[in-house]
Amino acid sequence: MPRVLVDLLFLTGTKGGMETYVRRLYSAIPQDSGLEFVGLIAREAEEMDLSWFPGELIRSGARGDDRVAWALAELRSIPGWARRTNADIIHSPANVGPPKAPVPVVLSVHDLLPFVHPEWVPGLHAPIVRWMVRRAARNATRVLTISEASRSDLLTELKIPADRIDLVPLAGSPIAAATSVPREKSLVLTVGNRMPHKNTETLVRAMAELPPGERPTLAITGGGDRDPLPPLVAQLGLTSDVEFLGWVTDAELERLYSRATMVAVPTRFEGFGLPVLEAMSRGCPVVCSDLPVLHDVAGDAAAYVEAGDPPAWAATISALLADPSSLSAMTAAGFERAASFSWERTASLTVDAFYRALREK
């Protein structure tokens, strides 16, 4: 039985959509796939619930929250672990992977933000990440990507041959119901990290545009000790209107979705738009940026706003809060749209790519 070494060194509980991707993907791979899986984890993942992984887990001793240590592990450790575990193939699911390996590599590239918008990658990380992604993609036997937009970027930015790229769309959470869920009428939820392209600042400024008596509570997940948003919230006089929740567990996130009147996704750039599907699959109306990739995901089920226009975000949110019938219609449309995506299909296409890589070695 072919053995797949899965590079899980990035798992720290703070990587957002990439962690959701790998959890959902490997939970959906069928037991009769004909493949055996071995996962390589960093120190931070040793205390995490990894019961979703369908195979043995090995502690690497590396640190996933230290970018330098993570990079060195990707460059040096993965090939060695492939030999030690007698792997037949490596899956690197988080944009980067080994530049050389003794077995075929399947690399999942979610987006090419450091290439397309390096100004949104903080500090000196952009050149390093570009080098790592470029080397990993050129070495990979198969490159998986999650949207037509990201596929186009792989073709133009990295010159990856089209016949080495597999388009594998993502999905939302399993659809829990087919009817709208009663919700509080005053909570706007936004999820994710503080990378500049996530553009949460625009959403905060939108809240300041609303009269205090009409202002919903804005709940913001993610962030950390250096979160740049709390000073802005204080400056705008929004301290009593904004909740900073930090990185939340899956159970806590589910409770937030159940409370939310709507989910806002003000991003300026996405490889796919997983937060949109995650929200719609839970019955949350979605207001998101007017980006082609998000139209591909949400279709007519979301409300779209120009990413950098706080007054427009304020007006759209205010109008929807005042119109429960529109919110109910968006909930129904969101359920229907989310149901057209499935992790079972994502898993099936990924397994096909593994076998394709094995044939091509």
pLDDT in tens, 297-340: 999 999 999 999 999 999 999 999 999 999 999 999 999 999 99
Distance in angstroms (rounded) separating the CA atoms of residues 173 and 72: 33
Q: Give the pLDDT score at 270.
A: 94
Examine the domain organization and report whether 229 and 81 are in the same domain. no
- Domain membership of residue 179 (yes or no) is no
Examine the domain organization and report whether 78 and 209 are in the same domain. no
User: Do the Cβ atoms of 7 and 93 come closer than 8 Å?
Assistant: yes
Sign of the dihedral defined by the CA atoms of residues 240, 228, 226, 74, in that order: positive
pLDDT averaged per 10 residues in sequence order, the chain, 361 residues: 95 81 95 96 88 94 70 81 96 93 96 91 77 93 96 96 97 63 75 92 97 94 87 96 91 92 97 94 96 96 97 98 95 95 96 96 71
Distance in angstroms (rounded) separating the CA atoms of residues 210 and 264: 16
Tally the domains of the chain. 2
Q: Give the pLDDT score at 179.
A: 44
Q: Give the pLDDT score at 178.
A: 43
Q: What is the pTM of this model?
A: 0.88
**Segments forming the whole domain that contains residue 38:** 3-171+342-360
Element (H, E) at 350: helix 343-360
- Domain membership of residue 176 (yes or no) is no
Examine the domain organization and report whether 348 and 285 are in the same domain. no
Closest CA to 186 of 212, 223, 154: 212
Say which amino acid occupies 173.
S
Examine the domain organization and report whether 331 and 319 are in the same domain. yes
Residues near 313 by Cβ (< 8 Å), separated by ≥ 6? 202, 203, 206, 209, 264, 266, 287, 305
- In the chain, the largest separation of any two C-alpha atoms, in whole Å, equals 64
- Which domain CATH number covers 92? 3.40.50.2000
